[in-house]
Amino acid sequence: MPGPENPVENSDTDQIRLVVLFGGRSAEHDVSCVSARHVLAAANPRRYEVEPIGITRNGSWVLAEAALKALAESGDNLPESLTADGPAVDVLPILANNTALPTVVFPALHGPMGEDGTVQGLLELAGVPYVGAGTLASALCMDKVKAKIHLTAHGIPQGEFRWLTVDTDEFGGVRRPDGSSSTVGQEVDAAIETLGTPLFIKPANMGSSVGVSRATNRDEAIAAVELAASYDRIVIIEEEIVGREIEIAVLGNEDPEASVAGEIIPGATFYDYTDKYEDGADRLIPAPLEPPELAEIQRLAIATYRALGVEGLGRVDFFYETERADGRPGRGWLVNELNTMPGFTPISMYPEMWAASGLDYPSLIDKLVELALSRHRRQQGHTRTDH
């Protein structure tokens, strides 16, 4: 594992043009602006010629001149959050290698239209190396329903869940997974009967706990489905799992490695947006785990990472259940989800877990860039078009 005894190899003379994408057309726009700020601050200025490109909420691409000016003066002058303001730029030319330096794109984007395979597909078409998971893995992990179905097929332990698809423009009509028509009330009743209460109800394609509700009764569940449906047509309904919330950071392509574990102690009823980004929760890094427990969760994290086809980086979130609500024995480690572009804010778990594992923030950026270049070189060996 890269750390104090095995540092990331790099040379300050081998400069790279690092295009950092941030903002985006999702409810996680603001989180992305903070993540990108800290990526810019951590990137070694002797190694990287950094180019911050903002994507506005309406999808326009702009050169973030204020961030560029602050970087030129001193990274210490960066604001706490970047803004997607500046002169408009053409997408493909800005991604192309228009300098003598090799280009790598760091899509510090969270949520739909950024972390879900859309931007990754654009980068594939542009032929540029980029940090993080590829198109398929990004799309699969963003869709909580599809990811859970996929992990079930791979034998990865998870909690129980149901889902529905909003059928009409007017809230109320939905479709079951088999395509048959239903109503929100009927599906909520079925969820309560099979999963019990409380329930967690979420938009399938969203992160940062945006649109997530904990419902303790039928009326709350119906309102929670309506809220989730305002963010995504597909809504997932999950059983509540009472247990420890543990996370593992994973890094790598073909041979991924797992960090030490981090534990979340929510400050609210559950680990919501405020806890994640306004420092409402307590974090224990490393998490207090016995060596066999840590080894098992690291094994499961890498198995989940591989099953979903992720490369570059990912954060795997777990519950540890010792006892079920009805008194039955707990199921142990249960995977909640894998995040392909975890937050890089000052209180984000991913960089903190790697720092506790011996890989500091600047070295983490170096490693992510190296993994992007390595994957791109590998892919170039599989691009034959004739037959």
Q: Residue 270: what pLDDT?
A: 53
Closest CA relative to residue 34, chosen from 143, 142, 145, 108: 108
Per-residue pLDDT band at 4 (split at 50, 70, 90): very low
Question: What share of the chain in percent tops pLDDT 70?
Answer: 90
| pLDDT at 324 (0 to 100) | 87
CATH 3.30.1490.20 domain position(s) in the chain:
161-239
pLDDT tens-digit readout, 232-251? 999 999 999 999 999 999 99
Fold category of 142-157+242-363 in CATH: D-amino Acid Aminotransferase; Chain A, domain 1 (3.30.470)
Residues of the chain with CATH 3.30.470.20: 142-157+242-363
Please, where in the chain does CATH 3.40.50.20 lie?
16-131
pLDDT grade for 153, boundaries at 50, 70 and 90:
very high
pLDDT, tens digit, for every residue of 57-109?
Answer: 999 999 999 999 998 886 678 999 999 999 999 998 888 766 789 999 999 99
Half-sphere exposure of 309 (CA within 13 A, CB side): 12
HSE of 242, CA atoms in CB hemisphere, 13 A:
11
- What's the CA gap between 275 and 11, in Å, rounded? 39
pLDDT value at 273 more than 60 = no
- More confident: 312 or 111: 312
Contact 353, 378 (CB under 8 A): no
CATH classification code of 161-239: 3.30.1490.20
Residue 314, pLDDT > 90, answer yes
DSSP state letters, 251-287? EESSS-EEEEEEEEE-SSSS--HHHHHSS-SEEESS-
CATH of 16-131, one of 1.10.3110.10, 1.10.620.20, 2.40.50.1070, 3.40.50.20: 3.40.50.20
Residue 5's pLDDT band, with cuts at 50, 70 and 90, is very low
Q: What is the pLDDT of residue 281?
A: 77
Enter the tokens of residue 100: 């003598």
